[in-house]
Structure 1
């Protein structure tokens, strides 16, 4: 993540699920309504049944899991108590205190004090803080109540909840503890009573059964009498975790992921893997902001340390490597862990030069393989067995590093990991990566290093506009068939509308067509708490009480459940491309920078003056939205003076302009970055801009924005100096753009890729003797299509099974309304050649049984 699927063994499950769902799903019409037919455009698909396409691995489509958007604590990890061990700290989030999510509570005449302690009375060295309740006596009870995550603990009538707490007391007779679920002061069920005895830490357990439902529940733990009682690891789990496992997973989220039938599970994340300190946990002066290190996450949960998550919150490690391996096994997915390469990424860009630290991490990685695959007689295999899994997990793939921006430094360290792993475990596929983007200097250098070293597989990550995905369906057609294979570990179109899912679906037809190169692919991110998300888009959204799949989830599920075993060669006609020059007004902007612009002029290709402003007057010719920085004319220049404001775009001119030269002078005054020079501006979400000194003044690129989502067209390593005036020129000729900085050509590009809305791929499902014709029609018009299956194809049935996703391009699935959902139907009249009209804005899977 940037600070940015099956046949064979799964066939029976897929077929059973399909049969069970068919009756419950809306039946789609076999033809679009008359209005759509009237607008239909003609296409053709020709299938070559005798041709040989690439085989598709069962593991091709999988899921990428990262603890972003509160995906673990408060999400997939079923623990209902937030800050259960009182370890929250401002290092995790400046708003945190050790009592975040806790409140004192008292009944009757009871009183006392609640203090979080960090002293020799702690539970253990890795779980350092605990709650001390000093009780003043009197009738009634005093203690604390936990609000869970966000609005409260979701409690359901009739459900059972497993409670546990570690406690100790200085009272010889013991201290009675009361535990109950409440909504305000109203009990939601019968209270639990336990008595803490002795001044040594002891674990106490019990169950609570709810009589009333609430989405705003609180867990109250109170004590009676006097004296001191200490509490730690206050925990509440629903009894109904996924597969009923203790310390388990939230059932609805785990089931939605399992329903994808993923071929692999990549974990524990992206940026949180290789950011922060790579040092080991050392009490008492441990570094909270550490990279994710697997040994911290196994063993008894009360002995696992916490960490400050890269995404700005506390991370408990209750969901750790053992649980990831176990979940992958439960859902039939290949486990694919990622370990840090000791080169930070995600904007940090530092390489660790300590050879001993590097040796330790390499050994940790070898120990991880032993933990996954070693016999019970081995050191780490024995630890796995003691956690409840004597049988090896069968690890086959492991990735080193994630999105490093320093390719040479990364690859030097990757090579040491790779050599050590392959020396002891030659059967393990060691995966490298190509940085955080789909192109650019880092990408090119990383790929060169990977090719030269004959690395087995390279992980690519990119998040782009829907336009980019429609334009780049052929991306992998030109990849070297003899070179490293591709693991597309993170990709998504930048929103959660159905139009985004359509663009992703169109792109996935290209992934399948190139299944001999793209061996693994996973959309990202997987999970997001709707109340506290760092990133959008996401596949599955949730709150405390419910969860729902986005439009992209439904698209991914359709592809992942209908992969097939091999690609059948096919061809389709295309959509006539609209032609015309780059057209639009011009603009100026900044990002976390104060800058001054002067002498802006626009002249047509024939020399005619279209616009000029030397800022000797006011700024009345410029248009800006409210809240976009602080612009004013000062000393004959147009100055944006707010060095903290982001995207301060102001525009001028005519959106019909084309074939022109934009010239100006730009001076950085202060701040983190440089200049943003816009051209081809249609509106505030659709434009090109030359981003000089972006990404904290480390990169300069030209970006194209369509509907607010951007893609990179060209990149250079230019940085911008403060106080220096630059001469900037943008020359637009047709679709060709040439850029000049201080009179020298900086770069050029031709934006002439067609955003093809009609895409298809055909695969063969050998187990069911079916051709699976997969068609994406991402346009306003229906696509009347002649489908030629070849005269030698033996059609076993004249009826095909259809699954269709269709909806408005702006449709978004919500907790109360999911307009994008599969609709199943049958199509009659199927023959070697037949016609079908694919609805506008649709994804259609057509399963045709052959002899």
Structure 2
């Protein structure tokens, strides 16, 4: 198993460990493509140590089966069909001999671990963990534990692929039994075997590698990759885990509710007393990785902890707010108790709990965030103010972070920003996932933000794919974040981790299976920026080169649905001169010329309309045959929802199955409308505009899309619904310069996201500098990905000469280049 030895014994080579080579000086260019000019006498924005961080959410099996090193899946037998239709109490387990079944009765271990394994007469079981089995290394020690009881005594036998141990269960009281197993072989298909020779009860079966990150129970290779980023903060535990299900407390119906939001008090204390929970993302959480472990991990890697707490208003496609003042007060108190848990003296109630867990020293919590991507701005902000007031009354110096909803623009975004400005919020959390073109078009997003208003925390962002072209676009955008570091105080790419075999979201920063891990191209990009931040921006300008200007919106017209049945009729495209460019009323009983772009849905012509009848299918896109080449035209049609969860999708400007726009009416469970744009990937849609919207079943709507070049106006039943102008230019060349006062270096950061080299002149504004510099380059095919089998996008570091007050270098096509230049 050479891969396992390589990946677990030593992580990917760190940037600073790369061998240095002296490169020849770059040839001078009399006519550079670009000129970067510094103004070193002017002060740019100061950059905080916490500028870049990481966001950890238990999505993609990031915790159990991921960062949390526990090898046993379903260790407390708490999986239930109510959580996931494929689950039962023995999920992850196989009974290989005898009789064993899960039981929930008064003999349970405790009320937080209600279900246990009851063995009758004697039985044996195996557990395969996550993926193909346990990844174990020959000679390594694994710590085993189990809680057990037996009526008349029993012999417990435990095995791990040839290593065995035995214990005598001597009492009918729940007792914890421990032991160690030393692996006899290296494998990634290991199995734990456990059994007893007599009737007995077992719960909380655990197997943890002794060799974890700093001995704190986290998988070493994953923790080391995160630590190598040198993050300034760790945002946790979500994300959608935070607000979804926040209407439930542990004491709700039958004392055993499911799909609760991530409530911190469920996750501290001895692991056998912690609750389990049905994860928002479709699987179970053991809470072995809880708030104490999050705080400890942040401390271990030198990062600030940033917990996100529920505001009792749901988000992530849901719309619900509490009207229960008693429940709201409970959450307010829980928030204050969390701050005490993190910072309180050992004499305080919750500071004592922290000390008992092994950390008497306070964690130094300085910031908390309230809520995540709420879709009800008025209800959310009313609750936010209650939380903020309660926190500030007791902890006036704590930064309390609000948010701006789930999108980069739109009615909810504007509403929440206005509220945050009026209320003088400390900081506002923005989230967006967009196409590479959006990031290349929006480098100046924060240039015009109010310098006196709330600061920005960019808590979640990514370009929606995993290719190097996505990373290049993100890198170009990050130069704008740094240039505006007086406004953007923190930023974190999301999500952080993903199990290659259990991913609910893409892209992700670090991928893993049960025995190895690898960084995406965006991981390498983020690491380059996070390891080379600097303390202050040195003002600079760029001249020369050019921009990519938008083209008029042309292409085919289409129809689609999402988890909805609908019928469409009288589809027509007309030019501004009245000429009919395309028309189909389906009265002839067929849909000649229409073709599928998704191979989903059930389309047929019925009663003179085109009907999609599958309410389970997502994105059932079909397109008319005619390619609309006119730049000014109108699309009209009639649309009727007949059943299902959402509304209509009207695609236009279709180039192919991965490049198009669509008007989304009644999306997000029939609560929101939007115009979305796919630019090279159907999974990489950016939202151009959003607003609340609902579609009524059975009602026929007259819809019109008026296209004038890059400008689009949308009308619903003759009333303007919205408009936009997709006229942003793309800037494929971006740069920022910062100063590292600790090392006395300038850090020149340049992104060339073009398919050709860029001859670049750099004028340092008269600064005296060393003749050589340390240069690190990420470059490669923009279509490349780092995968389990190959990681082609890696940093290359060299020493370059020819540096001076003014010098010229040719930057590779599709590259990110960092020059660290020593000032004299």
Report the TM range for the smaller structure's normalisation: over 0.9
Partner of 1:723 in structure 2? 698
| Alpha-carbon distance, 1:655 to partner | 5.5
Q: CA contact under 8 A between 2:27 and 2:808: conserved in structure 1?
A: no
Which whole-Å deviations, capped at 9, do the CAs of 1:777-824 have from their partners, x for residues lacking one? 112111111111112x111x1111111111111111112210111111
Q: In structure 2, what is the Cα distance between the partners aligned to 1:466 and 1:577?
A: 13
- Comparing 142-151 with 430-439, which one deviates more in the overlay? 142-151
- Comparing 570-579 with 424-433, which one deviates more in the overlay? 570-579
Which whole-Å deviations, capped at 9, do the CAs of 1:127-155 have from their partners, x for residues lacking one? 1111111126xxxxx31111111211111
Q: CA contact under 8 A between 2:549 and 2:727: conserved in structure 1?
A: no
Partner of 2:647 in structure 1? 674
From 8, 18, 42, the counterpart of 1:22 = 18
Partner of 2:44 in structure 1? 53
Partner of 1:204 in structure 2? 177
Which whole-Å deviations, capped at 9, do the CAs of 1:472-510 have from their partners, x for residues lacking one? 111111110000001111111111111111111111111
Q: CA contact under 8 A between 1:655 and 1:682: conserved in structure 2?
A: no
**Helix, strand or coil: the match of 1:475?**
coil
From 611, 631, 634, the counterpart of 2:603 = 631
Question: Does residue 379 of structure 2 align to residue 406 of structure 1?
Answer: no
Q: Are residues 31 and 95 of structure 1, via their aligned partners in 2, closer, same or farther at CA, if it must alter by over 3 Å?
A: farther
Question: Does residue 215 of structure 2 align to residue 241 of structure 1?
Answer: no
Partner of 2:573 in structure 1? 602
Partner of 2:4 in structure 1? none
Where in structure 2 are there 5+ consecutive unaligned residues? 1-12
| Alpha-carbon distance, 1:579 to partner | 5.1
Q: In structure 1, what is the Cα distance between the partners aligned to 2:686 and 2:657?
A: 15
Question: What aligned pairs does 1:511-590 form with structure 2 within 5 A after superposition?
Answer: 511-573=481-543, 574-578=545-549, 580-590=551-561
Question: Does residue 436 of structure 2 align to residue 466 of structure 1?
Answer: yes
Which whole-Å deviations, capped at 9, do the CAs of 1:753-774 have from their partners, x for residues lacking one? 0111111110001111111011
Q: In structure 2, what is the Cα distance between the partners aligned to 1:18 and 1:823?
A: 8
Which whole-Å deviations, capped at 9, do the CAs of 1:389-420 have from their partners, x for residues lacking one? 11111110011111111111111111111111
Question: Does residue 140 of structure 2 align to residue 165 of structure 1?
Answer: no
From 81, 86, 90, the counterpart of 1:99 = 90
Q: CA contact under 8 A between 1:32 and 1:839: conserved in structure 2?
A: no
Q: CA contact under 8 A between 1:32 and 1:838: conserved in structure 2?
A: no
Partner of 1:4 in structure 2? none
From 768, 777, 782, the counterpart of 1:794 = 768
Q: Are residues 33 and 660 of structure 1, via their aligned partners in 2, closer, same or farther at CA, if it must alter by over 3 Å?
A: farther
| Alpha-carbon distance, 1:714 to partner | 2.4
Q: In structure 2, what is the Cα distance between the partners aligned to 1:295 and 1:159?
A: 34
| Alpha-carbon distance, 1:41 to partner | 7.8
Question: What aligned pairs does 1:222-371 form with structure 2 within 5 A after superposition?
Answer: 222-224=195-197, 227-245=198-216, 248-282=217-251, 285-371=255-341
Q: In structure 2, what is the Cα distance between the partners aligned to 1:493 and 1:229?
A: 53
- Comparing 479-488 with 407-416, which one deviates more in the overlay? 407-416
Partner of 2:5 in structure 1? none
Partner of 1:156 in structure 2? 137
**Helix, strand or coil: the match of 1:510?**
helix
Question: What aligned pairs does 1:757-836 form with structure 2 within 5 A after superposition?
Answer: 757-791=732-766, 793-795=767-769, 797-836=770-809
**Helix, strand or coil: the match of 1:385?**
helix
Question: What aligned pairs does 1:27-106 form with structure 2 within 5 A after superposition?
Answer: 42-106=33-97
Aligned-residue RMSD, C-alpha: 2.0
TM-score, with structure 1 as normaliser:
0.92
Partner of 2:102 in structure 1? 116
Q: In structure 2, what is the Cα distance between the partners aligned to 1:99 and 1:33?
A: 67
Partner of 2:7 in structure 1? none
Q: In structure 2, what is the Cα distance between the partners aligned to 1:277 and 1:835?
A: 57
Q: CA contact under 8 A between 1:176 and 1:195: conserved in structure 2?
A: yes
**Helix, strand or coil: the match of 2:272?**
helix
Q: Are residues 728 and 17 of structure 1, via their aligned partners in 2, closer, same or farther at CA, if it must alter by over 3 Å?
A: closer
Q: CA contact under 8 A between 1:41 and 1:781: conserved in structure 2?
A: no
Q: CA contact under 8 A between 2:25 and 2:801: conserved in structure 1?
A: no
**Helix, strand or coil: the match of 1:133?**
strand
Q: CA contact under 8 A between 2:598 and 2:622: conserved in structure 1?
A: no
Q: Are residues 584 and 17 of structure 1, via their aligned partners in 2, closer, same or farther at CA, if it must alter by over 3 Å?
A: closer
| Alpha-carbon distance, 1:547 to partner | 0.7
Q: In structure 1, what is the Cα distance between the partners aligned to 2:576 and 2:803?
A: 56
Q: In structure 2, what is the Cα distance between the partners aligned to 1:726 and 1:407?
A: 28
| Alpha-carbon distance, 1:239 to partner | 0.6
Q: In structure 1, what is the Cα distance between the partners aligned to 2:633 and 2:179?
A: 75
Q: CA contact under 8 A between 2:549 and 2:728: conserved in structure 1?
A: no
Q: CA contact under 8 A between 2:439 and 2:473: conserved in structure 1?
A: yes
**Helix, strand or coil: the match of 2:305?**
strand
From 664, 668, 671, the counterpart of 2:637 = 664
Q: In structure 1, what is the Cα distance between the partners aligned to 2:635 and 2:308?
A: 46
Q: In structure 1, what is the Cα distance between the partners aligned to 2:27 and 2:125?
A: 61
Q: Are residues 145 and 594 of structure 1, via their aligned partners in 2, closer, same or farther at CA, if it must alter by over 3 Å?
A: same
**Helix, strand or coil: the match of 2:390?**
helix
Partner of 2:594 in structure 1? 622
Q: In structure 2, what is the Cα distance between the partners aligned to 1:242 and 1:203?
A: 24
- Comparing 608-617 with 82-91, which one deviates more in the overlay? 608-617
Q: Are residues 646 and 280 of structure 1, via their aligned partners in 2, closer, same or farther at CA, if it must alter by over 3 Å?
A: closer
- Comparing 571-580 with 303-312, which one deviates more in the overlay? 571-580
**Helix, strand or coil: the match of 2:601?**
coil
Q: In structure 2, what is the Cα distance between the partners aligned to 1:433 and 1:204?
A: 46
Q: Are residues 249 and 626 of structure 1, via their aligned partners in 2, closer, same or farther at CA, if it must alter by over 3 Å?
A: closer
Q: In structure 1, what is the Cα distance between the partners aligned to 2:125 and 2:109?
A: 19
Partner of 2:399 in structure 1? 429
Question: Does residue 177 of structure 2 align to residue 216 of structure 1?
Answer: no
**Helix, strand or coil: the match of 1:254?**
helix
Question: Does residue 159 of structure 2 align to residue 180 of structure 1?
Answer: yes
Q: CA contact under 8 A between 2:550 and 2:726: conserved in structure 1?
A: no
Q: CA contact under 8 A between 1:598 and 1:664: conserved in structure 2?
A: yes
TM-score, with structure 2 as normaliser:
0.95
| Alpha-carbon distance, 1:308 to partner | 0.9
Q: Are residues 435 and 610 of structure 1, via their aligned partners in 2, closer, same or farther at CA, if it must alter by over 3 Å?
A: same
From 453, 456, 463, the counterpart of 1:486 = 456
Partner of 1:109 in structure 2? none
**Helix, strand or coil: the match of 2:768?**
coil
Question: Does residue 810 of structure 2 align to residue 837 of structure 1?
Answer: yes
Q: In structure 2, what is the Cα distance between the partners aligned to 1:743 and 1:359?
A: 46
The alignment of Structure 1 onto Structure 2 pairs a total of residues equal to: 806
Q: In structure 1, what is the Cα distance between the partners aligned to 2:318 and 2:714?
A: 29
